[in-house]
Amino acid sequence: MKYVDEFRSGERAVRLAAAIHREADAGRTYRLMEFCGGHTHAIFRFGLQDLVPVNVEFVHGPGCPVCVLPMGRIDNAIDLARNHDVILCTYGDLMRVPGSHRMSLLKAKAAGADIRMVYSTRDALAIARAHRRRQVVFFAIGFETTAPPTAVAIRQARAEGLSNFSVFCNHVLTPPALAYILRENARASRPAGIDGVLGPSHVSTIIGSGAYEPCAEAFSMPVVIAGFEPLDVMQSALMLIRQINAGRHAVENEYTRVVTREGNRKAQALMAEVFETRPAFEWRGLGKLPDSALAIAGSYADVDAERRFALPATAGSEVKGCLCPSILRGEDKPADCRLFGTVCTPENPMGACMVSSEGACAAYWSYGRFRQPATAA
Ligand code: SF4
């Protein structure tokens, strides 16, 4: 398959692994944070950690949009569905994410709330057209990748006069989160910090690789925008190792088949029209970050579910012992969690990192990487 097979070639992987072994300095460590959950899954699915020297370590970052959603927002969505007589439309990933008191959208649905899983914003609009006497709310989450389709839906609802449709907006922005992590990394007294970043791929198709240049400059941090196939990740790791060895800290783009420096200007203009930046937003694991999320702009206030239903700001209560917050900061790994594989499994998730298809705990569990330590030399 075009753009898949050639990026999964075992022969090329062997050559890239040899180059990484040759160029990585045995006298130091290379801690490379992969920002996206998609990278984390590629690393585990294809066993990439075992192909690189032991002093090259992949550190998992906060790039799973379901995982960083604070519990209070899940509680808000559950409240909407249970107490406001709405049809709540949501992506499947969110259905099993635990809210406070082990409640989830799936459990609320089982108890009678009208919650429907959709594959796109178009599905949510279709439900609103079919049920004009009911309020239909789309639970919008994701990074800059999924914000443009939400913006299109908001404009479409306005154009059609779909007054029963609104959006509960939870879109978050990646550069502020990366800046936070790099700032903490610079402050940390931990012996091993982050040496380089495998930058977001799909997000960067929208905002462009140039969006990370201020971060790279401010924190003297090498960044390589990396695709999601195994050879993308290996090539990007090699590019980072070369930058680190040369003492450089540029933003380089490995994912040139999709990402440009400027990004998608049309999508950016659409987002600027429909959304405004929130002064601050709570990220699970990272806390309240300034200018890190989108709200629906005042000119589209009538489509904003937060205003329509006067949703309160709620904090939510984390499960005791769940290490999702520190895993999202790259400080712990899933196997460090006492609940991993015992109390917490994909069938019975305690935290969002075990639920989402992009979560680090789900990746460890799915590919069994916790069963045997890496043995590469
Ligand atoms: S294993 Fe479960 S409880 Fe532990 S950090 Fe992961 S999601 Fe949280």
Q: Which of 361, 366, 369, 370 to mutate to test the pocket of ligand 1 (most atoms within 8 A of CB)?
A: 361
Q: Which CATH number fits domain 67-173+263-308: 3.40.50.300, 3.40.50.11740, 1.20.1080.10, 3.30.70.20?
A: 3.40.50.11740
Span from the CA of 65 to the centroid of ligand 1 (angstroms): 16
Whole-number Cα distances in Å, 143 to 139, 146, 174: 14, 6, 7
Closest C-alpha residue for ligand 1 atom 7:
351
Whole-number Cα distances in Å, 125 to 77, 152, 181, 322: 18, 11, 37, 36
Whole-number Cα distances in Å, 240 to 30, 182, 249, 256, 329: 9, 16, 9, 16, 20
Q: What is the pTM of this model?
A: 0.91
Closest C-alpha residue for ligand 1 atom 1:
340
Span from the CA of 170 to the centroid of ligand 1 (angstroms): 22
Count the residues in the chain: 377
Span from the CA of 292 to the centroid of ligand 1 (angstroms): 25
Of 138, 140, 145, the closest CA to residue 63 belongs to 145
Span from the CA of 141 to the centroid of ligand 1 (angstroms): 21
pLDDT (0 to 100) of residue 350 = 87
pLDDT (0 to 100) of residue 313 = 84
What is the C-alpha separation between 332 and 325, in angstroms, rounded? Answer: 9
Q: 256 Cβ partners below 8 Å, 6+ apart?
A: none
What is the C-alpha separation between 268 and 25, in angstroms, rounded? Answer: 41
Take residue 47 and report the two structure tokens written for it.
Answer: 């066993």
Query: Is-contact 352 72, C-beta < 8 A?
Result: no
Numbered ranges of CATH 3.40.50.11740 in the chain: 67-173+263-308
Residue 321 Cα: closest atom of ligand 1: 3
What would the pLDDT profile of 101-155 be if each residue is shown by its tens digit? 889 999 999 999 999 999 999 999 999 999 999 999 999 999 999 999 999 999 9
CB-based pocket (< 6 A), ligand 1 = 322-324, 327, 334, 337, 339-340, 344, 350-351, 353-354, 361
Three-class secondary structure of residue 30 per DSSP: strand
- Give domain 5-63+176-246's CATH architecture: 3-Layer(aba) Sandwich (3.40)
Span from the CA of 117 to the centroid of ligand 1 (angstroms): 24
Using 50 as the pLDDT threshold, list the residues of the chain that sit under it: 191, 374-377
Numbered ranges of CATH 3.40.50.11750 in the chain: 5-63+176-246
Helix (H) or strand (E) holding 170: strand 165-171
Instruction: Work out the mean pLDDT of the chain and round it to a whole number.
Output: 92
Three-class secondary structure of residue 364 per DSSP: helix
What would the pLDDT profile of 283-340 be if each residue is shown by its tens digit? 988 889 999 999 999 999 999 999 999 998 877 677 889 998 888 888 888 989 999 9
Q: Which of 67, 69, 318, 327 to mutate to test the pocket of ligand 1 (most atoms within 8 A of CB)?
A: 327
Span from the CA of 79 to the centroid of ligand 1 (angstroms): 24
